[in-house]
């Protein structure tokens, strides 16, 4: 088992360094999972206050190291960060405890929402559910706006984002998204390489490597599952294997986490007819009102899916499958992060891939989010009002979603 040295550095440790019992890590993460509203960007602020300011489990330099690692990898960044802190402080058991604590509240709530739809299928036509779809329009629009400003501050990255949007609108398929991210990384490596010096890249401090053999073993597990799962699904025809395969693939391919998972999930579960657009967007809208990781939306999807066991079992399978690749990659990448992050070309490629992610999210906003939520003038007015509340009114996302449900019930 990897020691306390991974995945952080000596600078990540403070006077309180030492192993933290898994139950304590679980309880601390559970409190964060119950109170961390606002999405991945807000989660980082909650984490910093808890782990750096309040408990001293990391200092500023160590916090930046782990944050850079989790942003570099595909998967849910905030959940990967909680997992990495648990790994640093409690080894593998601590990592699982921290991930479970942070994820459990939102997963249970999403399973409960799915169960409510199952018991009351007539609510699919209810006005409050339409309001949740309008909330999804406002939330995704704000995500595109904010991510665009942060990740596309210059013409080369705007060009990458616009090209990604056009490509996905013309060919809305999961494999096109992979190609778009790859092309974005290549273009970033070519167009942005000279913008970042080596001094800038290593300014956050070194990251001490864990044992490389351990990292390679975890990488092998990640790759083997990515290859074997679709083969087993095709050979057996078992619905639960197909469910695990699709959600594992989504978790392996999403860069940026959060709202970026929307287009991949839509193409994997809605396009083949596993569930309808209305149900998908209703669940996505409900997920905005919850604390914790947005990837817990997968528990809802697995629960209501026509393929697989459905119910709580299907929800848990989808939840574990979508989180697993990101967690495996944290374990795999830790030993090699120090060397990779010193390369300006790698940083430039990452920035190009991030710009492509903005384009993918913009395409998802154009189709299917916008047409499904904005069906008439009233829905458009509500969407604009909700967007303004999020963007300029600084209203929390959970409050906006609850207001959207009330507005949809009373007005739509």
Task: Count, in order, helices (H) and strands (E) of the chain.
Answer: 19, 0
Rounded distance between C-alpha atoms, residue 42 and residue 143, angstroms: 12
Segment 134-156, tens digit of pLDDT: 887 887 788 788 878 888 999 99
Q: Is 408 exposed, middle or buried (0-12, 13-18, 19+ CB in 10 A)?
A: buried
Rounded distance between C-alpha atoms, residue 102 and residue 82, angstroms: 7
Segment 281-294, tens digit of pLDDT: 888 888 877 888 88
Whether the CA torsion 86, 88, 93, 95 is positive or negative: it is positive
What does the pLDDT average to over 402-407?
84
User: Alpha-carbon Rg of the chain, whole angstroms?
Assistant: 21
Is residue 189 a contact partner of residue 46, using CB atoms and an 8 Å limit? no
Segment 87-123, tens digit of pLDDT: 889 889 999 999 999 999 999 999 998 887 655 555 5
Q: What angle do CA 83, 43, 15 make, to 5 degrees?
A: 60
Q: Lowest-pLDDT range, 19-33, 135-149, 252-266?
A: 252-266
What percentage of the chain reaches a pLDDT higher than 90?
34
Residue 304 confidence class, pLDDT cut points 50, 70, 90? very high
| pLDDT beyond 50 at 190 | yes
Rounded distance between C-alpha atoms, residue 148 and residue 145, angstroms: 5
Rounded distance between C-alpha atoms, residue 101 and residue 36, angstroms: 12
Q: If you search the block for the tokens 């807000």, which residue do you land on?
A: 42
What does the pLDDT average to over 194-208?
45
Could you say which DSSP state residue 57 is in?
A: S
pLDDT on residue 221 = 96
pLDDT on residue 302 = 95
In 73-211, where does DSSP find H-type helix? 77-119, 127-151, 155-170, 174-191, 198-201
Structure-block tokens of residue 230: 């679709």
pLDDT on residue 60 = 72
Structure-block tokens of residue 146: 């904010």
Could you say which DSSP state residue 272 is in?
A: T
pLDDT on residue 299 = 95
| pLDDT beyond 50 at 162 | yes
Helix, strand, coil shares of the chain as percentages rounded to 5? 80, 0, 20
Residue 11 confidence class, pLDDT cut points 50, 70, 90? very low
pLDDT on residue 3 = 37
């Amino acid at each position: 088992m990897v020691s306390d040295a991974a995945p952080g550095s000596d600078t990540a440790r403070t006077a309180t360094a030492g192993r933290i019992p898994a139950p304590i890590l679980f309880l601390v993460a559970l409190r964060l999972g119950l109170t961390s509203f606002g999405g991945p960007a807000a989660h980082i602020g909650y984490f910093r206050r808890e782990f750096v300011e309040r408990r001293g489990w990391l200092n500023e330099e160590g916090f930046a190291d782990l944050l850079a690692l989790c942003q570099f990898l595909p998967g849910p960044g905030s959940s990967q960060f909680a997992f990495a802190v648990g790994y640093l402080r409690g080894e593998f058991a601590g990592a699982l405890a921290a991930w479970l604590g942070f994820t459990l509240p939102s997963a249970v709530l999403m399973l409960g929402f799915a169960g409510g739809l199952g018991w009351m299928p007539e609510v699919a036509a209810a006005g409050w559910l339409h309001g949740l779809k309008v909330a999804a329009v406002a939330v995704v629009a704000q995500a595109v706006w904010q991510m665009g400003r942060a990740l596309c501050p210059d013409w080369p990255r705007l060009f990458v984002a616009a090209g990604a949007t056009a490509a996905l609108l013309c060919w809305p398929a999961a494999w096109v998204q992979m190609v778009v991210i790859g092309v974005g990384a290549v273009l970033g490596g070519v167009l942005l390489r000279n913008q970042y010096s080596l001094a800038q890249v290593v300014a956050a401090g070194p990251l001490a490597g864990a044992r490389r053999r351990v990292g390679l073993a975890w990488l092998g597990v990640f790759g083997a599952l990515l290859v074997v799962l679709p083969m087993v699904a095709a050979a057996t025809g078992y619905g639960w294997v197909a469910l695990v395969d699709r959600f594992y693939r989504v978790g392996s391919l999403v860069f940026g986490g959060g709202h970026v998972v929307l287009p991949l999930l839509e193409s994997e579960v809605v396009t083949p007819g596993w569930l309808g657009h209305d149900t998908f967007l209703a669940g996505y809208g409900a997920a905005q009102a919850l604390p914790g990781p947005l990837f817990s939306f997968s528990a809802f999807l697995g629960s209501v899916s026509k393929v697989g066991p459905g119910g709580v079992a299907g929800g848990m399978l989808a939840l574990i499958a979508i989180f697993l690749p990101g967690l495996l990659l944290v374990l795999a990448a830790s030993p090699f992060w120090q060397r990779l992050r010193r390369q300006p070309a790698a940083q430039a490629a990452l920035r190009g891939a991030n710009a492509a992610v903005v384009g993918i999210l913009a395409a998802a906003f154009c189709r299917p989010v916008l047409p499904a939520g904005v069906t008439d003038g009233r829905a458009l007015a509500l969407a604009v009002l909700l967007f303004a509340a999020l963007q300029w009114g600084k209203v929390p996302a959970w409050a906006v979603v609850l207001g959207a449900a009330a507005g949809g019930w009373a007005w739509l």
